[in-house]
Structure 1
């Protein structure tokens, strides 16, 4: 099989490896190099780095609007195009080029969490299960029929970063299984997505990271987990802006104003919420590094008497 692979971030790298192990990846499409880091130098995507290491030709068009960009893809004569977190919307004229169309590896159990940030939105919403779907792409946003799916449980304290890594490997496994079936000429049954239960995972915005202490502690702890490692939850703590890396929800009745420090000890700093309390276990001061609550209190002795 001649496969064209399209992907950009680290999440897509395990799938590229799986595709290369099962078929002839004749080209890789990825986003153009973008400025990154303190020097704002042009930085290649993780998928580009993996492709270069494997000696796979790389294409980085800004879009597929031009006839030339589509002609370049058509000239590759792909049997299949595999798309994983590519970052470009593919028009129907591109979806129709490969003989077997385009497959997409998506990190949710569709139709729940269509869109850009399914991993983080699942944790933020308090979901206890998610998974990976291999979808036959069509023009709509993550609306195509599902070819293969695999579910996994979300850990009670699992962060967005941890779940990201597990789903990246699971996606590679699902893709590898599907490519093996396709090579064996076994038809994958395309199951239309359910009409009910559709939700959208909107792109993460840094402004969302600010915690509102008037909300329930259970909602805030889900945000802390979901937004780790980016954009990282932040809040005002006793007059200081901090970023919160790890926390727990306490089912505790109180009459304190939201945002008040209820107690501070080596176990954590307990903050009054609209319902319950949030125990902060790891946090970061402006310009500092993440530290435990105990180490933070060494510099904020005033909180120990709360």
Structure 2
């Protein structure tokens, strides 16, 4: 080909070289070696960024259960890289796919560092969410429902997680907290009249704003919505049972009942420190809608909680104090 290119200037040698290169790659002569190098590089990344540091967390030595859970997440990432077809090969696209695996590892690791109680049961919880359309979660305050769980869902590959809060201020504060936790701009927030980074994978919104979207936005989720994995709607602090929360719950029940195809495109998480039985009952009789009730009210919180009772005091005086 070199001689032909010299003798005949009309030959587009760059295209010919490209064709020959592609033929060579298709013969799979060294793909196996490339895949082994990927695995070696991944193990080196895990060793340098996770394993060498996992014995020291902000709260001291990590508990054994959390270490075991983290190792299970890491082993699963290793298995994905070694066995899943989308990661096998030596094209640019194959290498770009690895970035998402590295991001997932760091999310898992940063969630582990917090040592929040929910992390210890997160694999079982995530499995229930994956296998069901609606999942209700009842755990103690401070266990990590609002912060840790949305981040883990993104690490699991879900396209978008929309989390509601009953008030405006927590939307921005929790968003900042999660970004600080995972050390990247993973979240955004939106309230009536203000928003930030709304295209982020995790979006914190007021339940009133989500209610308006459910009522007025026909394109919030449709049969034509293309997803790698489901969109998750996460209704948090349901124990407050405001009008907006109850309307969101009812609108989602109606949406799932009228649009059976949406069950493959969305999942609903209902979270609360205390959950009335009427909430999961709302979804039990929807045809084709599977429901999981995840109840861990006995789960411990990271910090001790003490109750101080003051008898005979005026409530207004106590508030001022």
TM-score using structure 2 length: 0.26
Select the structure that is richer in strand. Answer: 1
TM-score using structure 1 length: 0.27
Select the structure that is richer in helix. Answer: 2
Q: Which has the higher contact order (CA 8 A, sep 6+)?
A: 2
